[in-house]
Chains A and B, each alone.
Chain A
Amino acid sequence: MADVIVIGAGAVGAACAYYAARAGLDVTVVDRGPVAGGTTGAGEGNVLVSDKEPGPELDLALLSNRLWRELAEVADFEYEPKGGLVVAETPEVLARLEELAGKQGVEHTRVTDLRDYEPHLAPGLAGGVHYPQDAQVQPMLAAARLLKAARERYGSLRLRTGVTVTGVLTSSGRVTGVRTTEGDILGGAVVNAAGTWGGEIARMAGVELPILPRRGFILVTEPLREPLVRHKVYTAAYVTNVASDSAGLETSAVVEGTPAGTVLIGASRERVGFDRTVSLPVLRRLAAQAVALFPALRDVRAIRAYCGFRPYCPDHLPVIGEDPRLPGLHHACGHEGAGIGLAPATGHLLAQVLSGERPDLDLTPFDPGRFS
């Protein structure tokens, strides 16, 4: 019998398992697919503080940012502290960006000559704000290598791929394990780290979690010989899109290079359920916005596109902590477009809860019971 059963081997589940194992707990991770086969394998790996409004999510992001740096010493997952550059088309937008940066209280620099930071940026932009703490990881490797590191260092972690959870077991009002396609697995606590499918797991346990998919497309270019884009670069519109409640299509250019030489171009946001059908208008808009930022991309070829489904909650905050409605059931899901960035803090705080410690951050804003 395990102390903790983690459902989901994405970035969040891996981080929960890592910190729980580090805390001395015996952990079993189950996933119906392979490791990192969910949204973790269908997004990007930005670890951002720059795009967060001041408040609980920014606090979580700052903690996570520090933890990612620590974890990069533990395992190799292409951690790159490359910094983010938010650019503004007009002086008015620039003023608002600076205002936000001031309120965030995060390390930043106002940039007037953008070409110093990004020589290939289009002319005519008003300026921007540089956030040195923004970083990038390879999310799939991060999830996989964290699980492996936990297995090797703490020895108390089992990873079971290809095992689907079909029910949550309870006894006298407490969670005692999970029912799976490979039989029952018993455990003292269950962590729902099923990402976009976290609502389904909750329902199996008889509780409601309003987690829904928000689709995003990414365009990938051919590998470039010379890096064209140094930072993660995005326009101010991204910040408002992230926080938007609109169900309609929103796109804003987010452009960055990867160690493999390709350029990733995101990111669209649409609420269309789990529809994988490729939307060419979305791809066209992403291309147009990227070219507007970096005109040299016009002659670079796109070779691939993919989409994923961000797990979002109505208030755009993740669900982290024990469910007040069902003791023993813990949630770590609903991180929307920031689940990679926020994974370590989520895992760390949840491991504190699981070990009966007081979490470093107040978890009230992320409380699973807040929707009822």
Chain B
Amino acid sequence: MVSENELLKKFLKDAFEKGLIEAVMAPAATEDSYTYALVTKKEDVDKLTPIAPVMQWNGADMLRRITKLKKSERKLFAILRPCEARTFKELVKFNQINPENIIVLTYDCPGTIHARNYKHDKVPAEELIAEIKKGGKNEKIRESCKVCEYPVPIPGVGDIGMGIVNTTEPVFFSLSDTGKEFLSAMQIQEGSRDADSWVKMHRERREKWLEEERITGGRKGIEEFLSSCLNCHNCKDMCPICFCKECFFEDHTVFDYESPKYFNWADDKDGIRLPTDKTLFHIGRLIHMGTSCIGCGLCQQACPMDIPLYRLFGIVGNDLQKVFDYKPGVNDDIPPVMDFREDELHEFEGLFGGEE
């Protein structure tokens, strides 16, 4: 039996041959990790590892870069994990990606290994995939992968899905009209598989995680959680939702102070920690983008101090998303920060909720 990766590479070569695509974006192996790669020739497809065991960057962020100044000039086929496909959808809503000429394939996700761990323990993709075929998930994958809410292709999010769990042979199915036409042009019969109980396993873990890993206790809780934070902003740099050209928290007109300010603070607060504004950065980032946190967990992977940041962003993000009944990247709902209703949220008005 051919592996999923071999099957996908054959799929891509066929698509090139049939003239259905002109470029592919997918992961490719490096010395001790995986990068994203863009190839434009059938001969280069073998350099790719469509399902890679490491996610260094969010693929949607790469598509944002490619289409930032000009829409994709070639028919681009992108292979994304489900969280990246949801990010793609979310970034399209924020006008950060022009989806024209881009076809997205996504798949039942085996999860990914923390990029730093992979350097020391190279778990091959095949090992991760074998695990999901048995209905489970490898224990070495990242925290966010273990508690992923949507580890599968969703109709309307991307164009083509590949089912791997609970099926002897992988199946392809369409997620959009474009995907439907594409599969029929490829002469691929659409198939199906039942992933419900596999998804349920993730959701149960997630519920437990939401309950157990919450950061509580106000000042003490957040300070303890962030106590080793370097204020390096890597978490923000790797976050695909933090796409601002200039981050508010790096604005020197706001965060540079004259020396008396420092001394006055030290007077008032009985000593201050330096550099300043560290916790404000995290709480502020939550306020800015928490409603659209997609759950990719790349903030956590980026942290040089191993702070389990997804517990902060995923759990507070979940609370925020509940307020607006919003699930980022799974449907066409408008992101909460871009929208409003005239009659809503009265419980946040006045001191005790609701106006007199």
Do A and B actually bind? no
